């Protein structure tokens, strides 16, 4: 619906950069999710006030955490617990987080990138940067403006990223794609052809920020855990981890093996679900 609504409808994103952007809409969204979950659990769902576990970016402030708790409580939760996204992602991809060994997770979501070294169910080192899929989409939008005077929406930018986006040259042959948008000079619709090489250059800035965050965590990592990472490598999760060549680029820049998780899109959600089932433990 984004960018396609008539004047009497406004499409709103309640969450931006991993935090609440619109309190009222977030409450409505959570209320809908909670009521949907309650119907599955019990026919007398109106009487249930569930316990809710919310995964949040590791770098958010106490005020932002309080806003998340308040929203969930107003939406009908009895008890609200928070968990850091990197820990949830690590559990979701099946890392042995309770063992006394180093596990490194890089969770690249829409609004934030979470980098953490985890051992004994806790984060030894962690960093959260406000760079993710949204920032990459914006970089593509700005490139199209600068290079072609072509205005495109964020959905079109995302499609470009998915179709031909890459951060590492995978083969000698480049991919091409036709992009439609509005000419900023004439104001008329226009269509152009772009290559994967252009998009690779456009994505350079946000991708460099992610790589720098990974390197900075490795520099702070205790030596005992650093030695574990040589064997275990770095696991990438989150939707933007699917960007072609990102694992190869991180591996080349750090000298450690990097792997994309089996189901990177749902890693945090799956991990949060596992934690919620075993909260007592």
> What residues contact 54, with CB distance under 8 A and at least 6 apart?
68, 69, 72, 80, 81, 82, 83, 272
Query: Residue 114: in which H helix or E strand, if any?
Result: strand 113-119
Helix, strand or coil, per DSSP, at residue 281: coil
HSE at residue 16, side-chain half, CA atoms within 13 A, is: 8
Instruction: Tell me how far apart the alpha carbons of residues 48 and 84 are, in angstroms, rounded to a whole number.
Output: 26
- pLDDT tens, the chain, 281 aa long: 877 889 999 888 898 888 889 999 999 999 999 888 888 877 666 677 888 999 999 888 899 899 999 999 999 888 999 999 999 999 999 999 999 999 999 999 998 999 999 999 999 999 999 999 999 999 999 999 999 999 999 999 999 999 999 998 877 788 999 999 999 999 999 999 999 999 999 999 999 999 999 999 999 999 999 999 999 999 999 999 999 999 999 999 999 999 999 999 999 999 999 999 888 77
Instruction: Tell me how far apart the alpha carbons of residues 144 and 219 are, in angstroms, rounded to a whole number.
Output: 36
Q: How many CB atoms sit inside 10 A of residue 111's CB?
A: 18
| 239 within 8 A of 110, measured Cβ to Cβ | yes
């Amino acid at each position: 619906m984004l960018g396609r609504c008539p004047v009497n409808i406004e499409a709103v994103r309640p969450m931006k950069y991993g935090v609440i952007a619109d309190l009222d809409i977030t409450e409505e969204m959570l209320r809908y999710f909670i009521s949907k979950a309650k119907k599955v659990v019990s026919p007398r769902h109106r009487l249930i006030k569930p316990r809710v576990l919310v995964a949040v970016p590791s770098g958010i402030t106490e005020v932002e955490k309080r806003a998340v708790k308040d929203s969930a409580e107003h939406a009908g939760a009895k008890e609200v617990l928070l968990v850091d996204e990197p820990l949830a992602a690590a559990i979701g991809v099946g890392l042995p987080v309770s063992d006394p060994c180093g596990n490194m997770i890089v969770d690249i979501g829409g609004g934030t990138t979470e980098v953490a070294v985890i051992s004994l169910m806790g984060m030894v080192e962690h960093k959260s940067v406000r760079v993710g899929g949204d920032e990459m989409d914006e970089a593509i939008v700005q490139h199209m403006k600068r290079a072609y005077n072509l205005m495109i929406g964020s959905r079109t930018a995302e499609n470009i990223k998915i179709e031909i986006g890459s951060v590492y040259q995978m083969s000698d042959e480049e991919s091409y794609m036709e992009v439609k948008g509005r000419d900023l000079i004439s104001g008329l619709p226009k269509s152009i052809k772009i290559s994967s090489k252009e998009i690779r250059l456009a994505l350079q800035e946000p991708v460099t920020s992610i790589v720098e965050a990974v390197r900075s965590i490795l520099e702070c990592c205790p030596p005992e855990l650093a030695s574990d990472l040589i064997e275990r490598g770095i696991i990438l999760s989150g939707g933007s981890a699917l960007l072609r060549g990102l694992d190869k680029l991180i591996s080349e820049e750090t000298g450690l093996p990097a792997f994309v998780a089996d189901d990177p899109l749902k890693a945090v959600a799956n991990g949060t679900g596992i934690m919620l089932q075993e909260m007592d433990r």
